[in-house]
Structure 1
């Protein structure tokens, strides 16, 4: 199925190009986020990510800088001319997100928060919807329908791994879901290899696999000092590793795109 192109800026359309979203799991400070953003932009990333609100399993974990974090992210995005994406925890913050954020992310925990999804349907912001930890593909698509039914069809699907019986990786990346969704929807689908694996050593190969099977992009966590990151340091690439990965993606992309054009799957 031909993918819908979701325009983010005049130069960036998800569904048209292989889009790279990158940045720290959490916005920890202006200096930290700016340094990482400069590195990822120079390596070829298109969109800056960073968590301002951090809904965590433990209430004692770092919960994010919240509104301050959003304003830091927005300031850096404007300075570096990069659109930004961050996760919305609740519909009560919608005015804040409409003012400062280019793409609104719905996290896995909120995929079935139908009231939030209905409210997002009233906005005209692009929405990145992450698959829930135990959600079927049908449930994933129906969650997207809640947003679309409200009048907002600018939905990007994100496969971030599902919870299975195995515990050797943080989640189990359902890479076949990309191929399945390709047949069922015109919405673009990207992959989050960082959350899928929970291990930075796996991120590059999972990213290359994502490119190979025809995903529309990646969301990758990058941190300049992951050993001291306030959240998810174990799954974050250092900037130099991210650049090496981007070099491989850019080298392989023309060949993969030419091969996929001859694929009869569509």
Structure 2
């Protein structure tokens, strides 16, 4: 249920309603608005009619059922778009179009530090890089783990770029959180609910990628797991879905951007690298992302793609990334946004 407070409702009224929601066995989630506040009461679907009794409480204007299965991610609860602060001065979901870039996997100090310097010069605002790599084959490179996290931290020290890196296993959440500015959930873990619940207990931005065979509703329900635990700093990432097409690694569902924008208040970015699997397709898909209304990109860049331990064919060289970023600014401007 959504409890809509009156414009002139006192703080004590809000606190009383919040206390009553807890007494009824539900979790209150307060959304502070410019003209009025609302409270989302989330919990067991059965017996939710008892929340209608809140209508008679002081300061309450209306009690409205939430129709969507995903309660806290829905625009029913929060009509205005969310802006997720990464670090002071850098926000995703506002007027600015934000680009994260870097290699698929951290391989050594020179590789990650040189790439960090290059992508920053080109205009990237975050450094991406995998220290833990969930691979289809158990014999493929699995990442440098904590040594990789330390190298990412060093690259951040050199460039000032915040780090976005993937956490694969619930047991590694605390360790990765010590190093990362943004915790990434990869496509293979989109419905790893134990992991999502743990991330929901952090006060740290979460970049949630869509699963290869995940519907939009399933994707938003995964976001709901994080939100329901208290973490509101969720960023959605469309990275392509699995179809019968073989010309690309996956099929970029560009229509998911406006659909998600209609359904949820959460920011949406695009990963054109995993979506296409081919470096030559990254730039046009990045321009399409800006035109479709995305809030940013996460792009793979590697100084020597032919020697990359993972995903070399879908990684841009730094010079090509610079060219793409220069042209991307034109598309972002036409879309009435600004490059961060």
| TM-score interval (norm. to shorter) | over 0.9
Number of residues of Structure 1 aligned to a counterpart in Structure 2: 258
Hey, what does 2:83 align to over in structure 1? 5
CA RMSD of aligned residues (A): 0.9
Structure-2 residue corresponding to 1:95: 174
More helix by percentage: 1
Q: Which has the higher contact order (CA 8 A, sep 6+)?
A: 1
Structure 1 gaps of 5+ residues are 259-266
Answer with 77-86 or 1-10: which moved more: 1-10
Q: Take 1:67 and 1:202, find their aligned partners in 2: how far apart are those partners?
A: 32
1:56 match: 135
Give the 5 Å matches for 1:32-71: 32-71=111-150
CA–CA distance in 1 between the matches of 2:80 and 2:259?
14
Indicate the residue corresponding to 1:124 in structure 2: 203
Local SS of the residue matching 1:93: helix
User: What secondary structure does 1:230 align onto?
Assistant: coil
Instruction: State the secondary structure of the residue aligned to 1:96.
Output: helix
1:182-193 matches, cutoff 5 A: 182-193=261-272
Q: Secondary structure at the match of 2:99?
A: strand
CA distance in structure 1 between the aligned counterparts of 2:80 and 2:304, rounded to whole angstroms: 40
- Separation (CA, whole Å) in 1 of partners of 2:277 and 2:163: 23
TM-score, scaled relative to structure 1: 0.95
Secondary structure, in 3 states, of the residue corresponding to 1:8? Answer: strand
SS at match of 2:100: strand
Q: Deviation at 1:97?
A: 1.6
Q: Distance in 1 between matches of 2:155 and 2:253?
A: 33
Once the two structures are superposed, residues 156-178 of structure 1 have per-residue CA deviations (whole angstroms, 9 ceiling, x without a partner) of: 00000000111111000000001
Note the alpha carbon deviations across 1:99-134, whole angstroms, 9 max, x for none: 111000000000000011011110011000000010
SS of residue in 2 equivalent to 1:209: helix
Matched, 1:227 2:311: no
Q: Shift in Å at residue 78 of structure 1?
A: 2.1
Equivalences for 1:227-246 in 2 at 5 Å? 227-246=306-325
User: TM-score when scaled to structure 2?
Assistant: 0.75
1:253 shift after superposition: 2.0
Query: Does 2:331 correspond to 1:252?
Result: yes
| Distance in 2, Cα, partners of 1:107 & 1:248 | 28
The structure with the largest alpha-carbon Rg is 2
Q: Deviations over 1:184-216 (max 9, x none)?
A: 000000000000000000000000000011100
Q: Is 1:15–2:93 an aligned residue pair?
A: yes
Q: Cα distance, 1:256 vs. partner? A: 1.9
CA deviation map 1:14-56 (0-9, x unaligned): 0011110100000000111000110000000000000100110
Give the drift of 1:10.
1.7
Matched, 1:104 2:104: no
Distance 1:181 1:100 in 2: 30
Residue 26 (1) aligns with residue 93 (2):
no
User: Structure 2: which 5+ runs fail to align?
Assistant: 1-78
Q: Distance in 1 between matches of 2:306 and 2:89?
A: 35
The CA deviation at 1:139 is 0.2
SS at match of 2:237: strand
What are the residue-to-residue correspondences of 1:195-214 with 2, within 5 Å?
195-214=274-293
Deviation at 1:223, TM superposition (A): 0.5
Partners in 1 of 2:333 and 2:247 — Cα distance? Answer: 33
Name the SS for the 1:218 alignment partner. strand
- In 2, Cα distance between the equivalents of 1:12 and 1:41? 14
Structure 2 distance, partners of 1:4, 1:65, is: 34
